[in-house]
Amino acid sequence: MSHLFNKAKIIVCVGTGGVGKTTVAASLGIQAAKEGKRVLVLTIDPAKRLAQTLGLENSLNGNILVPEQNYRGKLYAGWVDPETCFNDFVRSNSKDNKKVAKILNNTLYKQLSTNLSGSQEFTSLDRLYREVTGGNFDLVILDTPPAQNAMDFFNAPEKIYALFQRSITRWFAGESKDQNIFAKIINRGTLTVLAALEKLTGAAFIGELADFFTSIQDIQEVISQRSLDVHKMLMEPTTQFILVSTYDKIKILEAKDIYTQFKRFGFNLYSVFINRCLPEWDEPQEELKELYSKFIDLHKTTEGEIDSFRKLLHSEVLLYKIQDLESDLTGIQGLSALSDKISVALKENSLV
Amino acid sequence: MAAEPKNNCKIYLVSGKGGVGKSTVAAAIGHSFASRGLKTLLIELGYNSYFNYVFGRKFSFQPYNIKPNLDLAIWSGEECLKEFISYYIRLSTVVDLFFENKIMKTLVKAAPALQELAILGKLTSGFRKIGPELNYDRIVVDAFSSGHFLSLLRVPKGISDTISLGPMGQQSANIHKTLINSEICNYVWVSTCEELPVQESLEFIGLLNTDFNVTPKLILNKILRPQIPNMVDRASGKFASYLQNIKKREDWSTAEFVKNSKNYVESPFSFHASVEERIQYLSEVYSSYESFV
């Protein structure tokens, strides 16, 4: 059994856009299933072909047993669709059906539940929390949404929690109980601001805003409690992070920055995967030598960057170069081939 | 009242799947405009910049001149919104109140759709004769990738469809109109010749077409085919088979776009070690394409 799968109940894959996070998350899932784990891979916005491979094509919610598998364990996949998940969250946490309908129909709420505004981040962490506490899996692997800055992912839910603060709701909902003189003075300023905002946006918008904040009062407490629980869960030693980057100088520079931030926040980083590394070639025929030497020069720059990243890493965090697949294997065979390459890297780590 | 915008100003919005080289292509397009003497603004959306790594300096909301005729700025929704509010509420005491107010701070930071509207509002302000004008001949936006980009474009219509009354609704409707006006806004879609980006490109080009009646110009980036000697088909060894695979991928991808009646232009694979040199090289290639930009 790989050391990683023994240690972790949650694996979170982070990295910038287009480095192959989803592919790595799915391949890790396959490897864990091969080693006998009952594992769930949660993915956000997967590429269509990958969604097909995982059997998620027509499923916005729920967990699907990935087709074409014959492992010791079992591999499941789930698609975190922000809209569906946010709606579920509202439905399950509000007792009043009328209020639920009112929230779901509010214009601003509809904007909130798209993939803007940090709701992707909020919903995927919420889903992760529910799957982990549900206890149906030995391991849950989360593929995070692309962010230039990995910390955006962990900070984004705060944007959502901030919206659900009592003070802001009270303001729009017009509650005026237990106010002291000081609060009244603040309120006068707030009124001026509100008037300015109304001038900018119009009464119709302010109406929608007030509506939005009044209807979400019910789920405020749940949201802030969930925020604390999720944070605690992410800091536990059984939650391990994998930083994914790719064979490109700038992507590696970006990964270095993410690593530095990670250290500051104290997350448990297990290892760094450099995806799609090119193999060493034998010197080719005369006619191909010119192109060959261009590639070798380019790779030298990339390798230099990888070496300097390796030096920056804490001694316990290992950096692995995952070789690119020789041919365009797609589908479950492609993922399985990648998982073999990853397992080689993981076994090395168990020996360290 | 804002001054009449220059009639020849055009906006280019660049998107594509993550990792296809969208930012490099956007920068190269900006460079090629600038080298033709057009005053150009390159805008990167978001809080963290790819170009910080490329040019080795921190860029910000205020445009910074990186070469003759070419400025670079990074726009976050928050800063766009702040600028918009300050411009409209001219009374400085109220502006201060606005940004010191705790509730307003939260609202500006987190209220759904406001930041997205502010970004697109600032981008189109000159054409809508509202707000401070951007005084450029060409504006190139290195926008979000696929799904995120589409969500951004959908915001103005989403708001104006439901809140049609008042300044907010009207402005949203105007922003949407400007975005789908092909005399002003041009869309560029970047893809590489690999299965996942090709399929995602076909899907999103289709969505841009049905949802916005927009046909983006398709750029196939990192094309190596023309640089591979023909004899590779007969060659053996690991490097040769690597090249054969690339060729096969590129043949398949271009055939896929042809099959779906999508015109494309090719952007060559560049071996320059520095991205800055790569941008310069690509901009020269783009300038040589007649129909390109």
pLDDT digits 0-9 by tens, B57-72? 899 999 999 999 999 9
pLDDT for A27 equals: 94
Q: Cβ contact (<8 Å) for B168 and A204?
A: yes
Alpha carbons A210 and A197: distance in angstroms, whole number: 12
pLDDT for B105 equals: 73
φ, ψ of residue B160 to 5 degrees: the values are -70, -30
Q: Are strands A239-246 and A139-143 parallel, antiparallel or unpaired?
A: unpaired
pLDDT for B96 equals: 75
B positions 64-103 inside 8 Å of A (CB):
85, 88-89, 94, 97-98, 101-103
Q: Cβ contact (<8 Å) for B53 and A301?
A: no
Question: Which pTM was predicted?
Answer: 0.90
CB pairs under 8 A between A and B: 200
Alpha carbons A59 and A64: distance in angstroms, whole number: 8
Give B204's contacts in chain A (Cβ within 8 Å): none
Structure tokens at A176: 């005026």
Radius of gyration of chain B (CA): 21
Q: Cβ contact (<8 Å) for B103 and A118?
A: no
Q: How does pLDDT run across A9-58, given as a tens digit for each residue?
A: 999 999 888 898 999 999 999 999 999 999 999 998 777 778 888 888 87
pLDDT for B235 equals: 94
In Å, how far is B110's CA from the nearest CA of chain A? Answer: 5
Give A297's contacts in chain B (Cβ within 8 Å): 271, 273
Residue of B nearest to A189 (CA): B97
Q: Cβ contact (<8 Å) for A205 and B241?
A: no
Alpha carbons B89 and B99: distance in angstroms, whole number: 12
The mean pLDDT values, 10 residues at a time, for chain B of 293 residues are: 59 94 96 95 86 90 96 92 82 73 71 84 89 89 91 90 84 95 96 93 96 96 97 94 94 97 95 94 90 60
Q: Which amino acid is at B130?
A: I
Q: Is B116 on the interface with A (CB under 8 A)?
A: yes
Q: Which amino acid is at A57?
A: E
Residue of B nearest to A247 (CA): B19
Cβ atoms within 10 Å, residue A305: 21
SS (H, E, C) chain B: CCCCCCCCCEEEEEEECCCCCHHHHHHHHHHHHHHCCCCEEEEEECCCCHHHHHHCCCCCCCCEEEECCEEEEEECHHHHHHHHHHHHCCCHHHHHHHHHCHHHHHHHHHCCCHHHHHHHHHHHHHHHCCCCCCCCCEEEEECCCHHHHHHHHHHHHHHHHHCCCHHHHHHHHHHHHHHCCCCCEEEEEEECCCHHHHHHHHHHHHHHHHHHCCCCEEEEEEECHHHCCHHHHHCCCHHHHHHHHHHHHHHHHHHHHHHCCCCEEEEECCCCCCHHHHHHHHHHHHHHCCCCC
Alpha carbons B94 and B130: distance in angstroms, whole number: 20
pLDDT for A173 equals: 58
Q: Cβ contact (<8 Å) for B162 and A328?
A: no
In Å, how far is B292's CA from the nearest CA of chain A? Answer: 26
Burial state string for B103-119 with b = 16 or more CB within 10 A and e = fewer than 16 = bbebbbbbbbbbbbbbb
Domains present along chain B, CATH in parentheses: 10-286 (3.40.50.300)
SS (H, E, C) chain A: CCHHHHHCCEEEEECCCCCCHHHHHHHHHHHHHHCCCEEEEEECCCCHHHHHHHCCCCCCCCEEECCCCCCCCEEEEEECCHHHHHHHHHHHHCCCHHHHHHHHHCHHHHHHCCCCCCHHHHHHHHHHHHHHHHCCCCEEEEECCCCCCHHHHHHHHHHHHHHCCHHHHHHHHCCCCCCCHHHHHHHHHHHHHHHHHHHHHCHHHHHHHHHHHHHHHHHHHHHHHHHHHHHHHHHCCCEEEEEEEECCHHHHHHHHHHHHHHHHHCCCEEEEEEEEECCCCCCCCHHHHHHHHHHHHHHHHHHHHHHHHHHHCCCCCEEEEEECCCCCCCHHHHHHHHHHHHHHHHHHHHHC
Which candidate in A109, A113, A168, A323 is best for mutational testing of the B interface (most B CBs within 10 A)? Answer: A168
Q: Which of A85, A91, A117, A82 is nearest to A216 (CA)?
A: A91
Q: Cβ contact (<8 Å) for B113 and A168?
A: no
- Nearest Cβ partner of B88 from A48, A152, A200? A200
Burial (CB count <10 Å: 0-12, 13-18, 19+), residue A174: exposed
Residue of A nearest to B250 (CA): A328
Give A189's contacts in chain B (Cβ within 8 Å): 97, 101
Give B168's contacts in chain A (Cβ within 8 Å): 200-202, 204-205
Residues of chain A with pLDDT under 50: 175-182, 184-185, 351-352
- Nearest Cβ partner of B232 from A200, A288, A295? A288
- Nearest Cβ partner of A47 from B107, B165, B200? B200
Give B54's contacts in chain A (Cβ within 8 Å): 250
In Å, how far is A135's CA from the nearest CA of chain B? Answer: 32
Q: Cβ contact (<8 Å) for A202 and B275?
A: no
pLDDT for B266 equals: 95
In Å, how far is B176's CA from the nearest CA of chain A? Answer: 16
Give A199's contacts in chain B (Cβ within 8 Å): 88-89, 167
Cβ atoms within 10 Å, residue A163: 24
Q: Which of A67, A86, A87 is nearest to A75 (CA)?
A: A67
Which candidate in B152, B242, B243, B251 is best for mutational testing of the A interface (most A CBs within 10 A)? Answer: B242
pLDDT for A195 equals: 77
Residues 6 or more apart whose Cβ sits within 8 Å of residue A3: A346, A349, A350
pLDDT for B246 equals: 94
Q: Which of A212, A204, A209 is nearest to A102 (CA)?
A: A212
Residues 6 or more apart whose Cβ sits within 8 Å of residue A37: A5, A73, A138, A139
pLDDT for B113 equals: 78
Residue of B nearest to A17 (CA): B18
Give A157's contacts in chain B (Cβ within 8 Å): none
ipTM: 0.89
Contact A145, A124 (CB under 8 A): yes
Q: Which of A342, A329, A192, A225 is nearest to A273 (CA)?
A: A342
Alpha carbons B252 and B194: distance in angstroms, whole number: 9
pLDDT for A331 equals: 84
| Distance, C-alpha A227 to centroid of its chain | 15
Q: Cβ contact (<8 Å) for B196 and A108?
A: no
In Å, how far is A72's CA from the nearest CA of chain B? Answer: 29
- Nearest Cβ partner of B110 from A159, A197, A326? A159
Q: Cβ contact (<8 Å) for A284 and B167?
A: no
- Nearest Cβ partner of A190 from B103, B115, B238? B103
